[in-house]
Amino acid sequence: MTELVVIIFSAALVNNFVLVQFLGLCPFLGATCKLEGALGMGLATGLVLTLASAFSYLVERFVLIPLDVTYLRLVSFIVVIGAAVQFTELVLSRAFPLLHKVLGIYIPLIASNCAVLGVALLNSNASRSLAAAIFYGAGAALGFGIVLVLLSSLRERLEGEDVPAPFRGSAITLVTAGILSLAFFGFNGFSRL
């Protein structure tokens, strides 16, 4: 149990996918203009991350290893992730049609979010158990969501500020993201997972 908590904490904060490992930067900058959109994106990506890490584990453990075709790992993970994204889009359009409309193109783009593939591959490299793999995915999702919400809140605040002319727009966003990343390196060394 403690191990699972440590995995979540480690994936969410210490080895945060966006700010420490620099994975999934596209939605990090693209979907954080508004807090609501960022929350929705965090939730959708979270669902995909958790689903994809579970399914990738199952596919590797029960299909690839028994049939001795582990060289197909990368490409089959991509297939699994595509299916997970499609499934999330279905759920979203059914349960939160408005959120589905707001997020629009960003939902299919989750499929190309390298954090999702990253989690699946890291799980497989570290040969985690099913529970550990799911918790790692959930932790990564939590960290991703936290970071998205943080940056979007900061960006909403910055909108009203008198930013010096050369720093306006993308520049101040990137500076903010960099400072956030520095802040997250403060967690460095808390956990070795």
Partner 1 sequence: MVTGTVVLSSLAIALAIGLVLCSRYMAQSEDSVVDEVERILPRIQCAQCGYPGCRPYAAAIVAESAPLNLCPPGGEDTVRRLARFLGRDAAHLASPAAVAGVAAVPASLDDIAVIDEDLCIGCNLCVRACPVDAIVGVHQMMHTVITDHCTGCALCLPPCPVDCISLTPRHA
Tell me which of 3, 22, 30, 101 binds partner 1, using CB under 8 A: 101
Contacts to partner 1 from residues 3-62, by CB under 8 A: 59
Listed in sequence order, the residues at least 6 apart from 42 whose beta carbon sits closer than 8 Å to its beta carbon are 141, 144, 145, 146, 148, 149
- Rounded CA-CA distance 26/45 in Å is 12
Per-residue tokens: 53: 């890490």
- Rounded CA-CA distance 128/122 in Å is 9
Is 162 near partner 1 (CB under 8 A)? no
Tell me which of 97, 130, 157, 190 binds partner 1, using CB under 8 A: 97
> By CB under 8 A, which span of 18-26, 46-54, 88-96, 117-125 interacts with partner 1?
88-96
Tell me which of 21, 86, 176, 191 binds partner 1, using CB under 8 A: 86
Residue 82 or 108 having the CB closest to partner 1: 82
Q: How far is the CB of 4 from partner 1 (least distance, A)?
A: 28
- Which amino acid is it at 31? A
CA-based nearest residue to 186, from 25, 20, 8, 3: 20
Quick count: other Cβ atoms within 10 Å of Cβ 185? 12
- H or E element: which one contains 145? helix 130-159
CA-based nearest residue to 19, from 146, 147, 187: 147
Is 130 near partner 1 (CB under 8 A)? no
Tell me which of 102, 146, 158, 193 binds partner 1, using CB under 8 A: 102
Tell me which of 69, 74, 171, 175 binds partner 1, using CB under 8 A: 69
Is 93 near partner 1 (CB under 8 A)? yes
Tell me which of 1, 2, 75, 170 binds partner 1, using CB under 8 A: 75
Q: Do 50 and 152 touch, CB atoms closer than 8 A?
A: no
Binding site for partner 1 (CB under 8 A): 59, 63-64, 67-69, 71-72, 75-76, 79-80, 82-83, 86-87, 90-91, 93-94, 97-98, 101-102
